[in-house]
Amino acid sequence: MEPFDEVGAHVSSAGGVARAPARAAALGSVVLQLFTKQPSRWAERELEAERVAAFCAARIAHGIRLAASHDSYLINLATPDPELRERSYHAFRRELERCRALGLEFVVTHPGHATDGDLESGIARNAEAVERALEEVPAPTIVLFEGTAGGGRALGARFEQLAALIERVRPPLRARVGVCLDTCHLCAVGYDLCRDYDGVVQEFGDVVGPDRLRLLHLNDSAAPCGSRRDRHAHIGEGALGPEPFRRLMQDERLRPIPKIIETPKGEDERAHDLRNLARLRQYRTGQG
């Protein structure tokens, strides 16, 4: 079997989800991330059987080996507001249902905001909602809690919170949850990948468990380390610079982990994505 080129991008699903695989293939990728609906609207999208079949056919035709969804930005399963929480749950469950229909391996979700300041209760509310959705949608799709930049009262910034979320999901449903780490978010929180790459990787393994890391978002940071600001930059051009990405791409422990860029798109999305992916691939081979 050919080596698994695990690097891809979040690609547009404009014109229908069935167009996403071709956009990933045009980047030389066999992995992708997409939105199954508009992420900044509550309106839910129905996926007709024809659209599902077209996506599945396109995925096979373009050799896409792994596909992930990112859920709506409006979802907040940690909120103490019962009305917003139920609305968020409905949106999250519908997202999981679309992932099941499309055969997506992962759905990435933000752990939400504990707007009352009670982080422990926020973690409990989030985990309870995720567990409920996993029970009601018996799909193979794995839910990935994404580590956040830690702004405001966002949950999931520290490894300990990600571990607590997972531990609150009872077995055997716990097998369907994992973690997505974002290099920009790690930098924003203060995990220093530049000066202590090995220490950060070791700490994640010790606190959460290396087997829980299922997806990486590779983004440089336009804000300094520890800023708590989520501002993505092109690979090697922000506060992180080239070295952490070079280390990450050459780290054999992380080679099997799919990696998705969410770098700025600009006016020419494909050109920017190709440039960022080329840098990562060069880092991996030692040419960059």
Number of CB atoms found within 10 A of residue 6's CB: 22
CB distance 74 to 112 below 8 Å:
no
Q: Is residue 64 part of a domain?
A: yes
Question: Is residue 2 included in any domain, yes or no?
Answer: no
pLDDT value at residue 4:
58
Answer whether residue 227 is part of any domain: yes
What pLDDT is recorded for position 134? 98
- Residue 9, strand partner residues: 32, 261
Per-residue pLDDT at 151: 86
In-domain check, residue 125: yes
The whole-number pLDDT of residue 196 equals: 98
Eight-state DSSP code of residue 21: H
Bridge-partner residues for 67, per DSSP? 32
- Could you tell me if residue 87 is inside a domain? yes
Range of the domain at 174: 7-285
- State the total domains in the chain: 1
| Residue of 249, 216, 244, 230 whose CA lies nearest to 184 | 230
Can you tell me the distance from the alpha carbon of 38 to that of 14, in angstroms, rounded to the nearest whole number?
10
Which pLDDT score, from 0 to 100, does residue 1 have?
34
Distance CA 257, CA 222 (A): 24
CA distance 194 to 202: 14
The tally of CA atoms less than 13 A away on the side-chain side of residue 213 is 24
pLDDT by residue, tens only, the chain of 288 residues: 344 578 999 999 999 999 999 999 999 999 999 999 999 999 988 899 999 999 999 999 999 999 999 999 999 999 999 999 999 999 999 999 999 999 999 999 999 999 999 999 999 999 999 999 999 999 899 999 999 999 889 999 999 999 999 999 999 999 999 999 999 999 999 999 999 999 999 999 999 999 999 999 999 999 999 999 999 999 999 999 999 999 999 999 999 999 999 999 988 999 999 999 999 999 999 887
Q: Is residue 1 part of a domain?
A: no
Find the CATH number of the domain harbouring 186: 3.20.20.150
Mean pLDDT over each residue of the chain, to the nearest integer:
95
Tell me what pLDDT residue 2 has.
45
Q: DSSP assignment of 84-121, as one string?
A: HHHHHHHHHHHHHHHHHHHT-SEEEE---B-TTS-HHH
* Residue 148 maps to a domain: yes
